[in-house]
Amino acid sequence: MKYFQHIPTIKWFSEIQNRILSVYNNKIVPQSRTICVVYILLFFLSNLVMAQYGGVLSYPDARTVAIGSQAAVTSTGVYAILANPANLALQGTTIEISTVLPIPSINAVSGNDFMTFSDIEYYFGGVKDENGNIIGRYLDPSEKEILLSKFNEGNRIQTSAAINLFSISLSAGKDIGNFGFSINDVLGQRTGLPKDLIDLFLNGNRVGRTYYLNDLVLSTSYLREYNLSYARDFSPLLNNIFDSFSAGVTLKLVHGYAYTEIETIGTTIKTLEDHSILIENNLAANIAVSQDFGIQWDFDDVKNIQNISPFLNPAGVGFGINFGFATELDSIWTFGLSITDIGSVSWDNNPVSYKSSSSFLISDVTDSTLTDSIEAALKPIGSYSDGFTSSLPTVLRLGASFRLDRFLNGNFPGKMLLVVGYNQGFNNSLNNTTSPLLSLGFEWKPIDLFPIRSGFTFGGFTGFAWSLGLGIDAEVVEFNFASADIISAFKGNDTKVVQFTIGSRWKF
């Protein structure tokens, strides 16, 4: 990456991101060892494989992830608050609590859509020289072409994490309904590398060719959402056609702590016949960061004081709503529908915009003022803006489940739940995709204590994926572990994604 960083736009945005990330790494870490571990892991991965991965988004519900991220039906109890609040009404226990103990509920994913770990190992693992020292692998022209061919459109590196800090769901009986409350932190970072940039790096600048950086994506988001849910069984209103029919709604208050995005980019680099290099820069970026991070902007002389605490002063505030429906039929079928994260965040607490629309012709590298001139001409100019909004990752979730063991009247070893689902994102916000996700999955409980879950997903962030997970259901407490793409685990280094979901919840 250090080569790319010489390109002014990337250099500048990397600086901005690093400044924010450095605050994450240096200041948040001391607050909570658990969160610390998560952040370190995430940012290690994102930094480590920034050029390699794209990802999928999920919620910190390891059970749902293991079954295929269908969510509309499979997220129950405290997890229903985020996926389908109607499922709160199906809660079989009185109270469910999920918090950082015994293990936190976390969903984390980091990956890319263009390079596997094997590729990384091959290209970045180095080789031993005659002295046994590890050196960079030399790529001959054909190998360079192979490497370049791995990059197509997009070339996304996606890192996302959702951490459930605290959730509680309470069943007050069918007449009153069920309530839920949760606090979650949602982080995301997405980098998109233009293929031309890679080509420029690998092959140098060809005379007469224009290199486009339009596909450059550099986005970061750090949100905290406070969710309050209510669900109730409305089956009597339907004349008890269904065993149950519930509806639920989650109202969410979103505090945005950090957000960066490239709003527009049309930067091109062209080497003219006389080898002079024309850089046309067209960039607009939005940034909003909690003042408590103490970020010092280059255009503002006012000293911002860093004041890190568990509850930061938000840079943006948003509201959202989840609503959903769920029904059971014959204790075999369950159907669910939800639309989640309808809403947006308004980043209007000292938001910043950086813009640049200029061009510069490098024709004389002997000019001692060249560096300063390029920076003066191309460096985006920052200023406080009137604010901007970012959409929440609105998703339609449809799902159905089928209790095979019941259908077979118990002629099945253990309990078997088959599920099918369809998720459709409505935007391409940081943790979302408009690529639809179709999932098939199951949960098999040979014994209640050890549920085994698996599923297949098609579409979404990564295309086809095989999810797998395990659970330990000790009645009072439940532990779940899952991978949304166990194939990648089985692939070993042939995967492009690292993902895991873990969680626990107390059930009373």
Partner 1 sequence: MKNIKIKILSLLISTLLIMNGCISPPENFIAPSFDATYAFPITDTLFTLNDFIEDDSSFVVSDDPEKLGVLIYSTEEIIDPFYISEQLKISAFSTSSVSSIGTIKIDEVPPLRTNIAISDWTPISGGNDVVFPEASAPITSSFELINEFESALFKSGSMEITIQNNLPVTTEFREFKIINSKDGSIVVEAPINSPIVTLPLESTTVSFDLSNVTITNSLKVATTIYTPGSGTDTVTVSNNAGTEIEIGLSNLIFESVTGIIPEQDPIIISDSFIIDDSTKVEAIIFDEGSFRILMNNYFDLDLNINFEIKNLFDSYNNNYNNIFSLKRNERNKIIEIPSLKEWQIKTLTPGTPTNLLEYSLSVLIAPTDGINTIRSNDSVTVNIDFSESYFAYAEGLIKPTKFEITKSDLNFDLGDFQNSFNFDSIFISTPSMVLDLSSSVNFDIILNGLITGTSDNLTKTLEIQLNLPALVDSKFDLNEFGFTEFVNSFTTIGEIPEQFSLSGSGIVNPNYNVGSISKTDSVAGGFSFEVPLDFGISGGSFQDTISLFDSDFDEATIESINSIELTIESLNKIPVNIIMKGTVLDILNNPILDFPPSYSPNTYISLEAPIVDENGNVTSAEINKQVIQLNREDAITFMQNRNIEFIFSLDTPPINSVAPVKFRNTDNIYFKVYGKINYRMNGN
Q: Which is nearer to partner 1, 249 or 377 (CB)?
A: 377
CB 319 within 8 A of CB 373: no
Distance CA 441, CA 451 (A): 13
Tell me the H-state helices in 295-365: none
As a whole number of angstroms, the distance between CA 413 and CA 148 comes to: 51
Kindly write out the interface string for residues 79-118 of this chain, putting x where it contacts partner 1 by CB under 8 A and - elsewhere. Answer: --------------------------------------x-
Buried b (16+ CB within 10 A) or exposed e, 194-230: bbbbbbbbbeeeeeeeebbbebbbbbbbbbbbebebb
- Considering only residues 60 to 79 of the shown chain, the ones binding partner 1 according to CB under 8 A are none
301 CB contacts (<8 Å, ≥6 apart)? none
- Distances in Å between the Cα of 31 and the Cα atoms of 98, 311, 312 are 20, 11, 12
Residue 47 and residue 57: Cα distance in Å, rounded? 18
Q: For residue 158, what are the β-bridge partners?
A: 111, 190
- Collapse the DSSP code of 345 into the 3-class scheme (helix H, G, I; strand E, B; otherwise coil) and give the result: strand
Residue 238 lies near partner 1 (rule: CB under 8 A): no
Residue of 395, 226, 398 lying closest to 325 (CA atoms):
398
Segment contacting partner 1 (CB under 8 A): 137-145, 233-241, 306-314, 338-346?
A: 137-145
Nearer to partner 1, 77 or 471 (CB): 471
Q: Which of residues 346-365 bind partner 1 (CB under 8 A)?
A: 362-365
Residue 493 C-beta: closest distance to partner 1, Å = 6
- The only residue of 274, 305, 386, 409 in contact with partner 1, by rule CB under 8 A: 274
Select the residue interacting with partner 1 from 37, 94, 137, 408 (CB under 8 A): 137
Instruction: Pick one of 3, 299, 384, 464: the residue that binds partner 1 (CB under 8 A).
Output: 3
Q: Does 260 bind partner 1 (CB under 8 A)?
A: no
User: Does 125 sit near partner 1 (CB under 8 A)?
Assistant: yes
Provide the minimum distance between the beta carbon of 224 and partner 1 in the complex, in angstroms, as a whole number: 28
Residue at 458: amino acid letter: F
Q: Binder to partner 1 among 152, 276, 306, 383 (CB under 8 A)?
A: 276
CA distance 380 to 282: 9
Smallest distance, partner 1 to C-beta of residue 48, A? 7
User: CB 121 → partner 1: shortest distance, Å?
Assistant: 5
Three-state DSSP at 386 gives: coil
Are the C-beta atoms of residues 230 and 177 closer than 8 Å to each other? yes
Q: Pick from 41, 100, 183, 202 the residue near partner 1 by CB under 8 A.
A: 202
The full DSSP string for 42-63 is: HHHHHHHTTTTB------S-HH
Alpha-carbon gap, residue 167 to 127, rounded angstroms: 49
Instruction: Give least dist CB 410 to partner 1, A.
Output: 25
Q: According to CB under 8 A, which residues from 473 to 502 bind partner 1? A: 474, 479, 481, 483, 488-493, 495, 498, 500
Among 275, 310, 376, 446, which residue sits at the site for partner 1 (rule: CB under 8 A)? Answer: 275
Return the structure tokens found at 45.
């991965």
| Identity of residue 88 | L
Question: Do the beta carbons of residue 446 and residue 413 sit within 8 Å?
Answer: yes
Q: Of residues 37, 172, 207, 241, which one binds partner 1 by CB under 8 A? A: 207
Binding range to partner 1, per CB under 8 A, among 200-208, 301-309, 335-343, 374-382: 200-208
Shortest approach of partner 1 to residue 369 CB, angstroms?
12
Residue selected from 203, 264, 383, 434 as contacting partner 1 according to rule CB under 8 A: 203
Candidate residues 49, 82, 197, 258; the one interacting with partner 1 per rule CB under 8 A: 49
Q: How far apart are CA 498 and CA 483, in angstroms?
A: 9
How far is residue 125 from each of residues 146, 203, 236, measured CA to CA in Å? 17, 21, 63
| Nearer CB in complex with partner 1: 384/490 | 490
Q: Which is nearer to partner 1, 133 or 411 (CB)?
A: 133
| Cβ–Cβ < 8 Å for 451, 470 | yes
Instruction: Number of residues interacting with partner 1: please give it, by CB under 8 A.
Output: 58
For partner 1, the binding residue among 121, 215, 243, 300 (CB under 8 A) is 121
Instruction: By CB under 8 A, name the one of 95, 251, 277, 317 that touches partner 1.
Output: 277
In angstroms, give the least distance from the CB of 110 to partner 1.
Answer: 11
Minimum distance from residue 206 beta carbon to partner 1 (Å): 8
Q: Three-state SS for 102? A: coil
CA 346 – CA 317 distance, rounded (Å): 5
Phi, psi (rounded to 5 degrees) for 404: -65, -40
DSSP letter, residue 2: T
Q: What is the closest distance, in whole angstroms, from the C-beta atom of residue 368 to partner 1 in the complex?
A: 7
- Of the candidate residues 29, 41, 48, 374, the single one contacting partner 1 (CB under 8 A): 48
Q: Does 236 bind partner 1 (CB under 8 A)?
A: no
Q: Does 372 bind partner 1 (CB under 8 A)?
A: no
Binding residues (CB under 8 A) for partner 1: these are 2-3, 48-49, 117, 120-121, 123-126, 134-141, 143-144, 147, 201-207, 271, 274-277, 362-368, 449-450, 470, 472, 474, 479, 481, 483, 488-493, 495, 498, 500
